Chains A and B, each alone.
Chain A
Amino acid sequence: MKRRKVDVNAVPGKVAGGLDERFQAATPLRSILNKVFPDHWSFLLGEIALFSFIVLILTGTFLTFFYTPSLTTVTYDGSYAPLRGVHMSEAYASSLNLSFDVRGGLIMRQMHHWAALTFVAAIVVHMFRIFFTGAFRKPRETNWIIGLTLFWLGFLNGFTGYSLPDDALSGTGLRIASAIMLSIPVIGSWVTTSIFNGEFPGHVIMSRFYIAHVFLIPLALLALISVHLGLVFKQKHTQWPGPGRTEHNVVGERFVPRYTIKQGGFFMIVFGVIALMGGLFQINPIWLFGPYEAYTVSAASQPDWYVMFLDGSTRLFPAWELRFDLWGWGEGYTVPPIFWPTVVLPGLLTVLPMAYPFIEARLTKDYRSHNLLQRPRDVPARTSLGAMAIAFWLVLTLSGGNDVIADKFHISLNAMTWAGRIGLLLAPPLAYYITYRICLGLQQHDREVLAHGVETGIIRRLPDGRFIEVHQPLAPVDDEGHGHLEYAGWVVPKKMNRLGALAPAIRGFFFPIEKPAEAPVSPGHPPVEPKSKREEITK
């Protein structure tokens, strides 16, 4: 029988043709491949969160093979000698086993934890970028709200995951969580007993947290991340103002191939950073903490960094408790002090940012759609509000670790608490004021350069003996020597080599790729070509 000849070169074409016959993919596929994405480093921050989420799923799936979500008491008999013979829950024992008796288990656990910290950190940093550049404005309010929800879901998933090993540190955290639930007026005790199936800690909490941690919350995260990305795709990415960039176009690179290649490379870097941290920096050494017992605790008990601000708010909140009796009905009622900093505050921190795009639109009466970003300095009020929020958060987070700071820097613990209380009131307004002034200063400098030109660093002595600095205007000037350039919402060049005067500019990130040219500047002579129409001014 004669063998049929297969033309190898024609195979891809044939396969593609066959696929298109079935799915009519040619047109939609091409529009995806050709989609244009703008390029700026700050647009990659969200990707860090996305990529660390992928690492979380990969490492987390590995961990589920070995973890047992059970509070049954067992006697540890694993490799870790200092705990051998100790009674502990199966959850804790299995966490120890996957760290010490599973080959490579410890690095997986540590990578999972570092990836979790990276995930939330990247979300927060990404959110700051969105906020300060005004990317949340119409038509992107929905995505802003989804982003905030993603933060709180990440927060919840982080907390449930942190609780799963049932070590003494996480157990302490869980106990505080139960106190927070207890503090909710009217329904608090019902919520707590329902979640713990009775009194704290009960027997079911690990299996409930487990299903929440590995299934319910990740599912919600996955769904919302898909919608989040889908909306970015549909609404197209925002872009910075600049030459050729308008509200009605996107200037950048097509999705495939170069942009995708860069994304793939960046994923590997994120993965690599997490792997390095997972191997080199020990995180959450549960074996030192021992099993959770209601009576063990450690100095410096803290939650992970993204919960620390709530721990700080709890530490700083004064001892104010509401007690009242409802016209003699019952024996009297209590709203404990922990309710305000751990239930009311997070509630406010959820609702206020979610409403912010609408509040800002209302206050500025700006209901138009915006696709061009704003430089933080151009919207001083918003930027200062953001700085205020950061200052507020920073004081709370530092207070969450105030006992460590007190101990290691030899400060009185009580003084740290008071410093936090006062700082919480003083730092945000101060941050607002300072940021506002900085923004105005930067704005003014932009306008000054547009009107007067770039400082050349050349000092000239006039015949009458005065010294002036020569400025290089950015555009033709009028009789008074003033340029008439409109501010375009984008970077104003402020150095001569930004104008190409010292060409070639030094290229390279850390080290110059090309040798800088011999300085063409000689004293008294501006470094511009004499034939240029640009004229220097002396005002």
Chain B
Amino acid sequence: MTSDTPGGLMARLRRRRSQPRGRVRRRLGTVVRLTLALTLAGGVYAVFAPGLSADDTPQLSTAAEEGKALFDQSCISCHGRNAQGVPDRGPSLIGVGAAAVEFQVSTGRMPMARQEAQAPRKPAMFDDDQTRQLAQYIQELGGGPQVPEGGLRAPQGDEETIARGGNLFRINCSSCHAFGGGGGALSSGKYAPSLSEATDKQLYAAMLTGPQNMPVFGDNQLTPDQKKEIISYVQESLKQDRDPGGWGLGRFGPVTEGLAIFLVGIVLLVFTALWIAGKS
């Protein structure tokens, strides 16, 4: 890590001010540091240009105020002042709702490290409280879908909830995320991510808001109960249910099975043949 660049210096300054999350920071590349530096510059600008933002958002709750402060630090460079969006850099966040923010921020996709085909999942930059504050801010700015409070799994007891969730998963989700939830490729470098790390809330928020290229599954299409059934299926059947047939080979299907038959089966048998026909 080269920290003698101005960007690095700025980053280090910022790091000292916020809570220590050294490992995360260290992973971010120079671009991020530059972005952060710009953000800081923007923040400084905002501080020295009072009155600009004061009129636009008159009534913010305390949490939203906190969120706004975070937004103005980390998000404003791409999403613009008051989340109005910046052409060619970041879309407007008016009306995306708290659910979209919670998905994007808690999966670490936002803030983005660099512009590429698709923002990848990475360790989250903000903790749960900060994420909630950011979400609250965006929600109060423009409204939009919200993840309901309370449990996001289908109620226990009904035996067939998981099966119903499975059916819905195969109709709506498996085409991109694959039968095993491992994700899959889309066109030109885009992809449907693996569901292995997704939490209940993230799954719910993703269905509700359709992040990036994922289609939106509004509450009229998949009712909240159906969404919960899908979440139950993903978490309890796909992820927590151990493979009954031994090691699942990553659940990549015939590709890894074909690899295994040559790398394990045929290799073992050829070595045995070598030994059988060997002189010793």
Contact = CB atoms under 8 A, between A and B. Distances in A.
Contacts of B270: 41, 45, 125
B272 A304 contact: no
Contact of B247 (A100, A280, A404): A280
Given A106-B245, A280-B246, A296 B185 contact: no
A84 B178 contact: no
B120 to A, nearest CB: 8
B123 interface: no
A91 B178 CA distance: 23
A19 to B, nearest CB: 32
B183 A273 contact: no
A424 to B, nearest CB: 19
Given A82-B241, A296-B171, A410-B191, 6 more contacts: A41-B270, A44-B277, A81-B159, A118-B269, A265-B276, A304-B258
A84 B243 CA distance: 18
A528 interface: no
A403 B254 contact: no
Q: What secondary structure prevails in chain B residues at the interface with A? A: helix
B276 A407 contact: no
Interface of B: 117, 159-160, 162-164, 166-167, 170-171, 174-180, 182-189, 191-192, 233, 237-238, 241, 243-249, 251-255, 257-262, 264-266, 268-270, 272-280
Which of B167, B254, B262, B264 counts the most A-chain CB atoms under 10 A from its CB? Answer: B254
Interface in A86-143: 86, 99-100, 106-107, 110, 114, 117-118, 121-122, 125
A360 interface: no
22 contacts: A40-B277, A45-B273, A48-B269, A81-B163, A85-B163, A100-B244, A106-B244, A106-B245, A121-B265, A270-B269, A277-B265, A285-B180, A285-B248, A296-B171, A297-B175, A299-B178, A300-B178, A304-B258, A306-B258, A403-B185, A414-B188, A414-B189
A15 to B, nearest CB: 33
A169 interface: yes
B247 A281 contact: yes
B272 A290 contact: no
A401 interface: yes
Contacts of B255: 300, 302, 305, 308, 401, 404
B163 A83 contact: yes
Which of B164, B233, B273, B280 counts the most A-chain CB atoms under 10 A from its CB? Answer: B273
Which of A44, A262, A279, A281 counts the most B-chain CB atoms under 10 A from its CB? Answer: A281
A262 B276 contact: yes
B250 to A, nearest CB: 9
Given A283-B245, A300-B252, A509-B278, A117 B265 contact: yes
Contact of A296 (B174, B258, B268, B276): B174
A266 interface: yes
A83 B166 contact: yes
Contacts of B167: 86, 290
A165 B259 CA distance: 23
A107 B117 CA distance: 43
Nearest to A306: B258
Given A281-B246, A300-B184, A406-B185, A308 B254 contact: yes
A312 B160 CA distance: 39
A39 B277 contact: yes
B186 A298 contact: no
Given A43-B277, A283-B257, A298-B175, A414 B243 contact: no
A84 B175 contact: no
Interface of A: 39-45, 48, 81-86, 99-100, 106-107, 110, 114, 117-118, 121-122, 125, 168-169, 262, 265-266, 269-270, 273-274, 277, 279-285, 288-290, 293, 295-306, 308, 397, 401, 403-404, 406-408, 410-415, 507-509, 513
Given A277-B265, A513-B280, A117 B179 contact: no
Nearest to A173: B254
B185 to A, nearest CB: 4
B254 A303 contact: yes
A283 B247 CA distance: 9
A433 B270 CA distance: 28
Contact of A125 (B266, B274, B276): B266
A404 B252 contact: yes
A440 B257 CA distance: 37
Contacts of B253: 169, 298, 300-302, 404
Contacts of B269: 48, 118, 122, 269-270, 273
Given A266-B272, A270-B269, A281-B260, A299 B233 contact: no
Contact of B257 (A40, A269, A284): A284
B222 to A, nearest CB: 16
Nearest to A113: B257
B160 A85 contact: yes
A48 B243 CA distance: 29
A273 to B, nearest CB: 5
A86 B187 CA distance: 32
A118 B261 CA distance: 6
Nearest to A405: B255
A107 B244 CA distance: 10
Nearest to B192: A299
Given A41-B274, A86-B163, A299-B183, A273 B248 contact: no
Contact of B262 (A100, A121, A295): A121
Contact of A403 (B117, B184, B274, B275): B184
B184 A82 contact: no
Contacts of B257: 117, 281, 283-284, 304-305
Contacts of B175: 296-299
A299 B173 CA distance: 10
Contact of A288 (B163, B238, B258): B238
A121 B178 contact: no
A82 B179 CA distance: 13
Given A305-B257, A308-B258, A82 B170 contact: no
B28 to A, nearest CB: 18
Given A81-B162, A121-B265, A508 B248 contact: no
Given A44-B273, A45-B270, A412-B189, A297 B174 contact: yes
Which of A125, A285, A288, A397 counts the most B-chain CB atoms under 10 A from its CB? Answer: A288
B247 to A, nearest CB: 6
B187 A414 contact: yes
A494 B149 CA distance: 76
A108 to B, nearest CB: 11
A110 B247 CA distance: 12
B184 to A, nearest CB: 2
Contacts of A86: 163, 166-167
B254 A282 contact: no
Contact of B248 (A168, A282, A296, A404): A282
A52 B265 CA distance: 11
B119 to A, nearest CB: 13
A298 to B, nearest CB: 4
B245 A285 contact: yes
Closest 10 CB pairs of A and B: A299-B184, A305-B258, A282-B245, A412-B189, A41-B277, A401-B255, A44-B273, A82-B237, A407-B185, A117-B261
A277 B183 CA distance: 26
